[in-house]
Each structure stands twice: as C-alpha cells, then as structure tokens.
Amino acid sequence: MTQTTNKLYDEVLSDARTKAERELRRGQKDAEAEARKIEDKARATVEEILGAARAEGDRLRRQVLATVEVEAQRQRLARLEEILRSVYERTERRLGELSDQEQFDAQCRLTLEAVAQMPHDSLQVALPASSPAGRVDELIRRATAEADKTLDRNVALRPAGFPAAVADGVVIRSEDGSVEVVQSLRERLRRMWPELRLDVARRLLPDEMNLTQTKEG
C-alpha cells in the first residue's frame, strides 16, 4: 500500500470506529431508557396491584367486622328473646301459684275494675267453681265496701247463679244479662304483655331496642 492508501484506510477505520461507538452509545442510551420505562411501568403495575390488594383487604376487613357485629347483635337479640320468654313463663306460673289470700285480693281488684267499667247499679258476681265455700259472699262484702269508698258508688252486688268460665278471675254481669265483663289474671297478662315485653327489653338492651324502633319508625 502507498502512504495515501494507508492514510485513507486509517481514516475509514477511524470513521467506522467512531460511528460504531456512537451507535453503541446510542444503543446503550436507548436500552437504558427502555429499561427505565419497563421499570417505571413495572413499579406502577406493582403499586396498582398493591393498591388494589389493600383496598380489597380493607373491604374484606369491613365486611368481616360488619358480619361480626351483625352476628353479635343477632345473638344478643336471641338471648333477649329467651329472657323475655322466661319472664313471661315465670309470671304465668306465678299466677297459678297464688296463695288463697293473694287470689282473693286479686279477685277483689278485678271485681272493682269491672264495676268501674259498668254503669249498672245492680250486678251479679260469679267466681270459678273451684272457689272455697262462702268466697263469693266474702268477695261481695269487700268489693261493695271498696266501691263505696274508692268509686263513690253504691252498687248492689249479688252472687250469680252460674260459675265463672275462667279459673283465675271473676265474671261480672248486669242483672238483665246484657253486659258481661270477664276478668282473668292470665288474660290480663296476655293483653298487657306486648307493652311489658317492650319495657323489659328496653331495660336489658336499650341501644338495640332504640335502633329497632328507629328503623321501624
């Protein structure tokens, strides 16, 4: 080779080397940029996945807590129902275990309440067939005196010619038979129980009962 040829050859090699290095640097930059893009995208994807996982975890946690609270409230209300049923059964059983004097006092009160509801001046009083002998006369004497004192009424009471159809109360009937009031302790309990039940429930679980009433209202 001549000197000129060698020089040209060196220039070509140098130029090729320069271009190769430039392309290599550009390729490295492009590769680094692409790698950064991939890394950023991967990071964003991971954050998105983690964010979704956290949100799902929070949702499940709230769901579990809500389920636990609902179950706890259900158990409290179920227990309340057991208590209320027990209270009713004990009360009803207690009515059947009244002493003779307690039963007489209750019959007297029931008689006065019936008399207060009836405008008649002459009434018949019937007691259960199982009542002791002379009980109706004793009841009439006491009820007549109590009516005169508490109701300010002079009511004529006399024994009815029939037994009361209830085993734990009295039957008061007008002389002409047009009006009859049946007074029974158990029937009164059944009639008053809804209100008594609500009162007992409020005392035992005030928050739940207030919430229930708010929802119903």
The overall average pLDDT reported for the chain is 82
Please report how many Cα atoms fall inside a 13 Å half-sphere around the Cα of residue 27, on the Cβ side.
6
CATH 3.30.420.40 fits domain 100-190: no
pLDDT at 1 over 70: no
Per-domain residue ranges of the chain: 1-95, 100-190
Q: In what order do the strands lie in the sheet with 122-126?
A: 156-159, 122-126, 169-174, 180-184
Residue with tokens 């919430």: 211
CA-CA distance, 30 to 47, in Å (whole number)?
25
Q: Does the structure show a pLDDT above 80 at 90?
A: yes
pTM value is: 0.59
Mean pLDDT of 5-30: 71
